[in-house]
Amino acid sequence: MRIDILTVVPELLTSPLHESILKRAQEKGLVEIVVHNLHDYAHDRRKTTDDYPFGGEAGMVMKCEPVFELVEKLQSERRYDEIIYTSPDGARYDQHEANRLSTLENIIILCGHYKGIDHRIREHLVTREISIGDYVLTGGELAACIIADSVVRIIPGAIGDEASALTDSFQDNLLAPPVYTRPAEFRGWRVPDVLLSGNFAEIAKWQDEQAYERTKRLRPDLLNE
Ligand code: ADE
């Protein structure tokens, strides 16, 4: 899989995409993540990527030209399955969408900034708008990191223990059951006996019950989806 991220602040994306599991997934050749600086596609002396909005409102708007030039260059090199724009107006991001994106071959993520992007980019280039929640960030870069992170970690082979990505919270609309590690007793708090029993059928039953009980208590909305 290849993920191209288009931004006016590439510095914001450097470290989150190049550490830990994402770093190893790239080293293993499971995914290629390429960050592009939109300022490199602005041709005036000051490398301007934004301008005042028509209509005289406050704030700046990202210009069409650098975005179209870069996207069209990328499209001349390979076919993209989805051109995503990160925006609070978008469809709410969730595990189902992460799963879907992880099956695609090539995606572009365009990070919004300033007051937004020229609407013609949204109408004629973008194929999917994604919001990571009902709050406003200073820009789409952190949202792009969240999307890239959640997509890459479920690519087969990205996580050492293959099974663990499938038992995450949300994979089956249930929160994950509690987990414990050694010592079996800490400050008088004991790990549930069943987990020490070695009886894997009983452990699996307990985990299912816990997942259901926690979901019912903490996120009952998930049970109705
Ligand atoms: N850009 C600004 N706020 C955002 C949000 N909530 N989701 C995605 N992109 C954003």
Residue 176, pLDDT score: 93
User: With a 6 A CB cut-off, is 64 part of the ligand 1 pocket?
Assistant: no
33 lines ligand 1 (CB under 6 A): no
pLDDT band at 57 (very low <50, low <70, confident <90, very high): confident
Summarize the confidence of residues 2-14 as an average pLDDT: 96
Q: What is the ipTM of this complex?
A: 0.98
For the chain, list the domains and their CATH numbers. Answer: 2-154 (3.40.1280.10), 169-222 (1.10.1270.20)
Residue owning the nearest CA to atom 6 of ligand 1: 88
Residue 35 above 90 pLDDT? yes
205 CA from centroid of ligand 1 (Å): 39
Residue 133 labelled as part of a binding site:
yes
Residue 162: pLDDT over 70: no
3-state SS record for the chain:
CEEEEEECCHHHHCCCCCCHHHHHHHHCCCCEEEEEEHHHHCCCCCCCCEECCCCCCCCCEECHHHHHHHHHHHHHHCCCCEEEEEEEEEEECCHHHHHHHHCCCEEEEEECCCCEECHHHHHHCCCEEEECCCCCCCCCHHHHHHHHHHHHCCCCCCCCCHHHHHCCCCCCCCCCCCCCCCCCEECCEECCHHHHCCCHHHHHHHHHHHHHHHHHHHCHHHHCC
Q: Cα(113) to centroid of ligand 1, in Å?
A: 9
Cis peptide before 183 (omega within 30 of 0): yes
Q: Is 134 annotated to bind ligand?
A: yes
Residue type, 130: I
Q: Kindly list the distances between the CA atom of residue 115 and the CA atoms of 71, 121, 158, in Å, as whole numbers in the listed order.
A: 21, 14, 36
Please state, for a pLDDT cut of 70, what percent of the chain lies above it: 97
**Pocket of ligand 1 contains residue 87 by CB under 6 Å:** yes
Mean pLDDT of the chain: 94
| Residue 55 is labelled as binding a ligand | no
**CB-ligand 1 contact for 133 (6 Å cutoff):** yes
**Contact (Cβ atoms closer than 8 angstroms) between residue 115 and residue 61:** yes
**Residue-wise pLDDT tens digits, 80-139:** 999 999 999 999 999 999 999 999 999 999 999 878 999 999 999 999 999 999 999 999
Query: Is the confidence at residue 167, as pLDDT, over 80?
Result: no
